A and B are shown apart, each in its own frame.
Chain A
Amino acid sequence: MPYIANTPEQQTEMLRAIGTDLEGLFADIPSALRCAGLKVASGLPEQDVRRRMAVVADRNRADLVGFLGGGFYDHFVPAAVSAIVSRSEFATSYTPYQPEISQGVLQAIYEYQSAICRLTGMEVSNASLYDGGTALYEAIMMALRVTGRRRVVVDDSVSPIYRTMVRTYTRNLGIELVETSSRIGLADREALARVINDQTAAVAVQNPNFFGCLDDFSDVAELAHRHGALLIASAYPVSLGIVKTPGAMGADLVVGEGQSLGMPLSFGGPYLGFMAARKEHVRKMPGRIAGRTVDAQGRQGFVLTLQAREQHIRREKATSNICTNQGLCALTALVFMSLLGKQGFRELALSCAEKASYAAQRLQAIPEVRMRFGKRWFFNEFVLELPVAADRVIRRLLEKGFAAGFPLGRYYPHMEKSLLVAVTEKRTKEEIDLFAHTLEVSL
């Protein structure tokens, strides 16, 4: 039997030691509750499982040349990332409850927290959350705890995927969720000024936003702070290789999707939610946090700390219910950032921006195709306005082997002709040229 070590002889011996038979081990389950037999197929040998799953995997089109982003990006993952992360000392350990034999994971969490702080320009980070959407929800809940208020403003240039999630989680909690409409691709300052008031707990924005546009939210942070509200910024970590940090803009909480830091797209997960904050708010943070301390001999060591916030101590009074988070994904992000390093990470961002800028140039040269948001600055994703419905173009390009981008009409009903195009460092100039040519002849 797969993954069972005891032999029948050992089983007999063990039952004798217990003083029962097999039936006796389950005598406490009333017969009315026993299951007659599952309708499940028989098990398969490893080779057969491999073959079968390879066939299933081949029924997916993971080979398309991808210009699809929408917050989830096809970045190159260096070989050393998986070599390190797949080490079973990391992969097969539990949450580090016994620090003396978990220094590897605990130090890695501390280093991850440090890297996230350095990347975002913030002072503290937690050990990870599930994904960018739940991270935004947790940040909103945290802002409610910090301010004691119930009103939250979210701009509609924040990922619609995250906004629908936030709506689900806050529905029954008596939270007033106000959405502002962006204007020509950016958060509308006048609209924000109209709705931010002294009851507002937080204002949530995103940079680059869902349309790929870059913004500087320093003025929004000031406006929020004037009313005693927090600024929550959702960020795309790779962009922070060159883009101004949310910390420098005055954000109080920074969250985001960390998938781009070395995780495969993997049809939606596992990904990584990250959260960073200003030091003063750390005791209101959700999730695990590692800290540096010493043992009796003065040797440096790491522990999970500030646990009085957490569910296993505080139960219904905890700051969050989170227990298992995305430990190995946080390690992946740390290894990815360490391999690229200070210079490489900047170059990665530059490479994305260069190729995107080249692609934008090529694509807007096509007759009747223009940049929807004119001269707005972008990082590696931008919106093309097509002469026909984006769906039509996407369908034609799929036939030619391209995932052309995301049709914004899915979430923004007045944008049927808008195509959100993402370019990462993985796309070559040749692919971009061929993409532009194919798009032109498909119109």
Chain B
Amino acid sequence: MRVIFDKSVPGRIGVRPSRQTGCPPPHIEPKLLREQPAALPELSEMDVVRHFTGLSRRNFGLDLGFYPLGSCTMKYNPKLNERVAALPGFAELHPLLPQLPTGERLVQGALAVLHDMDRLLSEICGMAAFTLQPLAGAHGELTGVMMIAAYHKERGNRKTTLLIPDSAHGTNPASAAIAGYEVRAIPSDADGRMDVAALKDALDASVAGLMMTNPNTLGLFEPRVREIADLVHSVDGLMYYDGANLNPLLGRCRPGDMGFDLVHINLHKTFSTPHGGGGPGAGPVGVSAKLVDFLPVSLVKERPDGSFFLDYDCPKSIGYIAPFYGNFGIVLRAYAYLLSLGKEGLLRVSEHATLNANYLKERLKPFYDLPKPGVCKHECVFSAKRQVVHGVHALDLAKALIDRGFHPPTVYFPITIPEAIMIEPTETESKETLDAFIEAMIEIAKLAETNPEEIVSCPKTTVVGRLDETRAARQPDLASLD
């Protein structure tokens, strides 16, 4: 499809802004003005609507079909939540209102949502308090790591290193490094769990903490997590929980009870807010009692009379990490989701997320190499090892799934599993959908043996074939300039 600028017709206009008669033209010194209007496209409203409707048809979304992208928890995004976020009482609320004199009175509804969400997430995760400010998961990680640094600074600890398992998400080491820490990788053992002996070797006085997911990125629960926490705490290190994989634990097992001091959760994963083709998400961070003082400014608190206020008096806080109170519209959606689920609903989420993943794993086990057998939690990780001997790689399998109407699983992650295929079905999918996916995976596995060329030439049903990524990087065309 032509880019929108190439469809431009000089003189055409889509939406005209309201102009007031009776206002004199603004008087601004010419040298402060631009010489030419910005070369934005010139199109009618219908042209624009057709262009983007056309683009939308070239995009796969969760509402079109199964999206088993491992580690991303692509569960159904309830429509109710969109309606709630669009209520004018929320959508049209200016974030600076609370800073006006008596301003808190103007936003009591919004503060009530933030306060209640803090309480709900604290209960679900077993933490003392949450900040809802972090604007994405990785932003939550950075916020958490800055709190780790503040904790050690206050205690006079000289800590330089964060421990991170080799199977961790790339954001973990990146967040640690950006906050000024060195990263030391901890290997996995033969079972795919953290190698506790290696952890003991890596522990010394320089260790500020350990960042981990549980279940880990292989979808396996780390049963020795309390022992790991005790070890890290023994050098006054802190335990950081990456909540990307929280879904199978909801209502059953809490990071706080496992010994974690900090938790970030992804509202766009576990709590059903739409991912938007790459955000916006939200990455609230919860902390145990010993870290509450370091939470970012401001905190939403309740007065004895039941009214809410923003507390800016936080002398030990790491400071301001977001302009206001977080991605409030995303928090609202997640809040509506939690109201819908309730206590029972949370248990059903973890139950069916785990059931669906194990069902897929057992049905596909005869056809694909399963490096770490045993019960999994929300996702399972296969390897394309058996298919590679026929010249078919994980990426080829992914493209073959596209031709069969499915979004592929995550491939080549975690990096500890060669040719990884990481499948996360989520609880919202039905057995029929899983069965259809399983049939497609089995057909592809058989085809890989009998006719591998059929697989490596996929996808064939899409608007473009495999794209030349080398050319994209070597001769970058990153914008259509006027």
Contacts and interface: CB of A to CB of B under 8 A. Distances in A.
A305 B472 CA distance: 6
A268 B26 contact: no
Contact of A403 (B61, B84, B94): B94
B378 to A, nearest CB: 11
Nearest to B134: A130
Given A266-B93, A294-B468, A403-B97, A350 B26 contact: yes
Interface stretch (A19-27, A146-154, A188-196, A435-443): A19-27
Nearest to A263: B329
Contact of B84 (A39, A49, A361, A391): A49
Given A28-B221, A351-B19, A72 B96 contact: yes
Given A15-B355, A84-B49, A89-B63, A101 B462 contact: yes
A341 interface: yes
A53 B84 contact: yes
A61 B126 CA distance: 34
B368 interface: no
Contacts of A316: 173-174, 176-177, 183
Contact of A6 (B96, B339, B431): B431
Nearest to B81: A49
Interface stretch (B70-78, B233-241, B385-393, B442-450): B70-78
A161 B478 contact: no
A303 B92 contact: no
Contacts of B169: 312, 323
Interface string A90-110: 111111111111111101111
Interface stretch (A222-230, A332-340, A363-371): A332-340
Given A292-B472, A398-B102, A335 B226 contact: no
Contacts of B363: 17
A46 to B, nearest CB: 5
Contacts of B95: 72, 265, 267-269
Contacts, number: 714
Interface stretch (A116-124, A177-185, A197-205): A116-124
A266 B135 CA distance: 14
B61 A57 contact: no
A94 B71 CA distance: 11
B38 A118 contact: yes
A436 B258 CA distance: 60
Contacts of A102: 59-60, 277
B168 to A, nearest CB: 9
Interface stretch (B199-207, B284-292, B317-325): B317-325
Interface string B14-42: 11111110111111110111110111111
Interface in B59-114: 59-64, 67, 69, 72, 74-78, 80, 82-97, 99-102, 105-110, 112-113
Interface string B406-443: 01101001000000000000011111010000000000
Nearest to A301: B464
A57 B170 contact: no
Contacts of A58: 89, 109
Nearest to B75: A3
Contact of B102 (A68, A104, A395): A395
Contact of A38 (B177, B326, B343): B343
B197 interface: no
Interface in B141-169: 141-142, 146, 149, 153, 169
Q: Contact size class for B?
A: 35 or more
Contact of B106 (A60, A322, A347, A353): A60
A92 B146 contact: no
Given A58-B109, A80-B45, A105-B59, A282 B478 contact: yes
A440 B28 CA distance: 27
B481 A25 contact: no
A92 B272 contact: no
Contacts of B26: 350, 353-354, 356-357
B469 interface: yes
A325 B464 contact: no
Interface in B327-372: 327-330, 332, 336, 338-346, 348-349, 351-352, 354-356, 358-359, 362-363
A338 B14 contact: yes
A239 B220 CA distance: 52
Contacts of B223: 28-30
A53 B476 contact: no
Contact of B464 (A123, A299, A314): A299
Contacts of A114: 3, 5, 479-481
A289 B473 CA distance: 10
Interface in B443-464: 459, 462-464
4 closest A-B pairs by beta carbon, nearest first, are: A57-B89, A268-B324, A43-B342, A104-B59
Given A88-B274, A321-B177, 4 more contacts: A114-B3, A265-B94, A348-B17, A358-B22
20 contacts: A3-B341, A17-B363, A25-B355, A29-B223, A57-B89, A59-B108, A66-B94, A68-B100, A89-B61, A91-B61, A101-B402, A108-B52, A167-B320, A245-B34, A266-B328, A267-B95, A269-B325, A307-B473, A323-B137, A329-B276
